[in-house]
């Protein structure tokens, strides 16, 4: 499919979800199913021998772990809720859907998969430690928190990968045929983006907060962080000629997990930041697709 058509379809999906949020939000429960099959069809075209952990990832992991808590400690002196929202936007691991977007952009899918596995594992352990030092009314025991976060991440990331791996190992004929189905992940992405946008808009509009300044600051800070993390990923990735992949695993966040963590472990109002991040990262993804088409 031509890149300009992909860009147009994704933009239409975002506008539809934004406009008819009340309708599309009703299908939010289907999102994990779409994500599962999006990853399944994407992994069909991945060479699993290329999935490996690189030394360049270490700095990025340290960035997410260190900068997130550093920014929290700084901003919390002025606004605790804003600090939590900013922190979760930085700490949130790479979205499983980043693998799909990487495929659309022609980026190194194996690289995004490798970093996604690493950072999701690290954050599932680090996040409960961070939440324990914050002003959280009722903090769950550490290992229960780790288990809860892992259950939100790894079934969607690991199971489709293992399924494709088994198919390729047991039947080369089926594996070869499945490689031609990777385009299906794009159509699933478009539908999923519409639902996620609709659910996000409804979520933001339903928030009951009298502190409108904090809400505005949460939305604006998520915009700044979204742009910064995509740009940071691009320039850092240029150092090892992997800029497109790096933009995805630094900028494309698992916002569904981030919203859940904020609502479960932090002040629920702080979840507005990762919710707004959904809007911004979808616009950035659309821009990336358009730019790829423009650059040929």
pLDDT tens figures, 126-172: 887 777 766 555 556 666 777 777 777 777 778 888 888 888 788 77
In this predicted structure, the answer to whether residue 4 has a pLDDT above a threshold of 70 is: no
pLDDT at residue 182, rounded to an integer: 65
Cα–Cα distance measured from residue 137 to residue 149, given in angstroms and rounded to the nearest whole number: 19
Closest CA to 248 of 84, 94, 144: 94
pLDDT at residue 15, rounded to an integer: 84
Decide which of 265 and 23 is more confident: 23
Residue where the block lists tokens 């998969």: 113
**Mind giving me the DSSP string for 78-103?**
T-HHHHHHHHHHHHSPBPTTHHHHHH
Q: What token pair was written down for 140?
A: 């769950």
Q: Can you list the domains of the chain with their CATH numbers?
A: 3-294 (1.20.1530.20)
Instruction: Spell out the alpha helix ranges (H) of the chain.
Output: 3-19, 21-24, 31-43, 56-75, 80-91, 98-105, 109-132, 142-170, 172-178, 184-206, 212-237, 243-251, 255-265, 272-294
pLDDT at residue 224, rounded to an integer: 95
pLDDT at residue 18, rounded to an integer: 79
Mean model confidence pLDDT for the chain: 81
pLDDT tens figures, 49-101: 777 888 888 889 999 989 998 999 899 898 888 999 999 999 988 887 787 78
Cα–Cα distance measured from residue 282 to residue 110, given in angstroms and rounded to the nearest whole number: 22
- pTM comes to 0.81
Start-to-end Cα distance in the chain: 14
pLDDT at residue 90, rounded to an integer: 93
The most distant pair of C-alpha atoms in the chain lies apart, rounded to whole Å, by: 60
Helix (H, G, I), strand (E, B) or coil at 77: coil
Decide which of 32 and 90 is more confident: 90
pLDDT tens figures, 261-294: 887 778 878 888 888 898 888 888 888 877 776 6
Mean per-residue pLDDT, 178-188: 73
**pLDDT confidence of 235, banded at 50, 70, 90?**
very high
């Amino acid at each position: 499919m031509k890149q300009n058509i992909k860009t147009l379809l994704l933009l239409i999906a975002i506008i539809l979800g934004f406009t008819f949020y009340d309708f599309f939000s009703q299908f939010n429960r289907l999102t994990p199913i779409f994500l599962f099959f999006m990853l399944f069809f994407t992994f069909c075209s991945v060479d699993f021998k290329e999935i490996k952990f690189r030394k360049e990832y270490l700095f990025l992991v340290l960035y997410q772990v260190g900068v997130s808590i550093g920014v929290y400690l700084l901003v919390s002196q002025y606004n605790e809720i804003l600090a939590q929202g900013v922190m979760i936007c930085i700490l949130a691991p790479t979205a499983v859907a980043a693998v799909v977007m990487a495929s659309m952009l022609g980026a190194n899918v194996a690289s995004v998969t490798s970093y996604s596995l690493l950072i999701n594992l690290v954050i599932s352990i680090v996040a409960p430690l961070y939440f324990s030092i914050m002003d959280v009314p009722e903090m769950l025991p550490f290992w229960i928190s780790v288990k809860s976060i892992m259950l939100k991440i790894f079934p969607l990331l690991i199971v489709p990968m293992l399924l494709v791996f088994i198919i390729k190992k047991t039947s080369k004929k089926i594996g070869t045929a499945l490689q031609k189905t990777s385009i299906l992940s794009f159509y699933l992405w478009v539908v999923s983006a519409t639902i996620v946008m609709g659910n996000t808009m409804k979520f933001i509009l339903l928030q009951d907060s009298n502190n409108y300044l904090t809400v505005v600051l949460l939305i604006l800070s998520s915009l700044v962080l979204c742009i910064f993390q995509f740009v940071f990923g691009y320039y850092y990735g240029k150092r090892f000629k992997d800029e497109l992949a790096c933009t995805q695993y630094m900028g494309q966040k698992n916002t569904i997990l981030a919203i859940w963590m904020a609502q479960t472990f932090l002040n629920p109002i702080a979840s507005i930041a990762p919710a707004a991040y959904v809007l911004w990262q979808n616009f950035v993804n659309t821009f990336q697709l358009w730019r790829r088409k423009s650059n040929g």
